[in-house]
Amino acid sequence: MMNFWDDLPRPFLALAPMEDVTDVVFRRVVARAGRPDVFFTEFTNTASFCSEQGEFSTRGRLTFEKEENPIVAQIWGNNPENFAEMARALAAKGFAGVDINMGCPDKKVVKSGGGSALIQTPELVTEIVAATHEGWNEGSNEATPTPAGKAGLAPNRQTVADEASRGGHGLAGGMSGLLGEKATPISIKTRLGYSKVEEWRSWLTCLLEQNLANLTVHLRTKKEMSKVPAHFELIPEIVRLRDQIAPRTKLTINGDIRDRAHAMELWREHPGIDGFMIGRGVFANPFCFTEHENPTRDELFDLLNYHLDLFDKYNVTTLGSEPGQSRQSITVTTRTNEETRDDGLDERTVAGGLASDPLPRKFEPLKRFFKIYVKDFPGAAELRIKLFECKDSDEVRKVLSSAR
């Protein structure tokens, strides 16, 4: 069973999945500045993916380029059948792994029973993880051996869920004895608990019994949101718990990780950690995955121009035009790997499948990124005001050019 998590350096760095932020455009911007070891998509609703509209309705969230691998699709919901179906599709279509969101504190997500709401339903969690394992194995066409002489047959989902729910450490942490020594690339991102920090031990124990390839722990509770400092003081105990229950599961720490230097500092203090996930740190410095802590204004302007170019590239209303030329909408047909493109674009992947359909992108949401690049120099605030008044990417380019 191929599992990219086993091939990552220690410590590895990952870009956190962030709603309306970490789409294919921004991930490629980060890769230009200095790529992390692992990318994650924005989180995608399993119910939406499995609906009548299916992949069409979620394709923008699941678009990725081949060079982004390893890239993990983060998904959320509360229906095990949907998780199985979606994992099956994602495995068959090129993603390196699937990450289950069990930490999002958004009110709508929680009200629907997904994200951090799952912290309160451990039995459902066991069913969801078992279904996701099963779906992934089916999609990748790789059977997982069982210890009972049934080589080549994946265990029945209910059998796995029942065994995992018993938490039998004699099975190396519940599911691992059934699914073999090497986990499928299924991971979870979660928080310490729902309301109280003290929930962390029982909650993480439940997750560590699910034969995960990786467990990412945001060091705050759902209730705390991001209003308090991350609980770094709990790292030693969390590492010990992982080592006791599931030593093969990678442990990633998230929450207030500023940059690569900060991650390395924490790792030297806590060498049992396998990786670090950076979220808001990328807004402070898009070069945060490198040792480049103080990018110049010109470097940030160049990166913003690259962001604009990618925005146009993936926008159906701007294809076929060079910066400065009038925009036009064009129709692009799907091609095979061997066929060439005449529109200057390379092949991209939608939900893992080769496709060439760009998506209409609104310009206004792009403005939220300007503060990443235009800050900390005299006149930055005034320049941002001018940029916010722009109507399209070409106007932004002109304003930037005049500001150099």
Compute the distance between CA of residue 384 and CA of residue 389 in angstroms, rounded to an integer. Answer: 9
Question: Is the separation of the CB atoms in 387 and 370 below 8 Å?
Answer: yes
Closest CA to 332 of 352, 322, 346: 346
Amino acid code (one letter) for 336: T
Helix runs in 63-121, H state only? 80-92, 107-111
- The Cα–Cα gap between 39 and 41 comes to 7
Instruction: Give me the half-sphere count of Cα atoms (radius 13 Å) on the Cβ side of residue 255.
Output: 27
- 390 given a catalytic annotation: no
Least Cα distance to 295 among 201, 374, 358, 199 occurs for 374
Find out whether 288 and 261 touch, Cβ atoms under 8 Å.
no
Identify the bridge partners of residue 195 per DSSP, sorted by sequence position. Answer: none
If you search the block for the tokens 């179906």, which residue do you land on? 85
Type of residue at 362 = K
3-state class (DSSP) for residue 139 = helix
Check 104, 206, 288, 390 and give the catalytic one: 104
Active site residue ranges:
104
